[in-house]
Amino acid sequence: MRLEEYIQDSQTLVNKRINEYINKKESACKLIKDAMLYSINCGGKRIRPTLMFLTYEFLSTGKKTDIVDAAAAIEMVHTYSLIHDDLPAMDNDDLRRGKPTNHKVFGDGVAVLAGDGLLTDAFHIISSSKKINEEKKGMVIEILSRRAGSSGMVSGQTIDLVSEGTLLKKNSKKELAEQLDYIHQHKTADMIMAACEIGCILADKEKDLRSISDFAQKIGFAFQIADDILDVIGDKKKIGKNGSDKKNNKLTYVSFYGIEKSKELEEKLLSESLKILDMLDGRDEHKKLMKEMAYLLIGRDR
């Protein structure tokens, strides 16, 4: 299977599962379901679910449908973070994936609640899953909550938020470099790591967890560097959002290192991640797809 087909299949599977889950919530009001599904159905490559599927199928003899609830959960958490990230109190973005952001359609209050709903329902779709055994449910929830919560993505977003504007002038170059790595580790890499770690755990390959985690961390960093570069030189129509990093005077790899140095770091991380993957045993077809996915994340134009 070609990577493009694999991604499309993953998108279809995850989108169907999330829509099915939310639409079946009879006691939920129509407005909140509409707001949640609006952002879910606004497109996106489903990078995190695809990485989870690839890791699982690479390390096991299973298939994507075995872990669709876990994949749906991580996409729900990711989408909640995007809804909140776009709010006027944060990045104040009008576009996401080429469409009006959630708060532009439903208002700030409902957008906050739509994000809240997706976040909490993500853990329910795992806990109520009939496809994941009880022991593994606890492990999946532990990984996702740790990587997405105050020890992970939330802290990354917090430091990103307070790193805007004049605060940057108060820090030394060394402090800024450390702060930059902290932001990218927690805001972006943690959720990429969660996707691959959960795929590894569900494949019953705990022995490979450290290597998979290291692989995911490196491509997570490289992915964020690529995103920083795109924010400066990317086609707004293709990437589907405004270049808000410069507008908000954000601390990014490009603003700190410049584009050329950022590209060098990106290539170094990609090379290191592929070396880790080569040391792991698994299905060759899926190892090839994982490598192609890593290249796609770095070389993408949208």
Q: Residue 170: what pLDDT?
A: 61
pLDDT in tens for each of the 302 residues of the chain? 899 999 999 999 999 999 999 999 999 999 999 999 999 999 999 999 999 999 999 999 999 999 999 999 999 999 999 999 999 999 999 999 889 999 999 999 999 999 999 999 999 999 999 999 999 999 999 999 999 999 999 999 999 888 776 445 667 888 888 999 999 999 999 999 999 999 999 999 999 999 999 999 999 999 999 999 988 886 555 555 555 555 557 788 998 999 999 999 999 999 999 999 999 999 999 999 999 999 999 875 43
Residue 245 contacts residue 91 (beta carbons within 8 Å): no
Looking at CATH, the fold of the domain delimited by 3-296 is given as Farnesyl Diphosphate Synthase (1.10.600)
Q: Residue 162: what pLDDT?
A: 85
- Among candidate residues 30, 112, 17, the one with its CA nearest the CA of residue 65: 17
Q: Residue 236: what pLDDT?
A: 58
Query: Rounded to an integer, what distance in angstroms lies between the CA atom of residue 102 and that of residue 88?
Result: 11
Q: Residue 166: what pLDDT?
A: 44
Q: Residue 42: what pLDDT?
A: 94
Q: Residue 250: what pLDDT?
A: 77
Q: Residue 302: what pLDDT?
A: 39
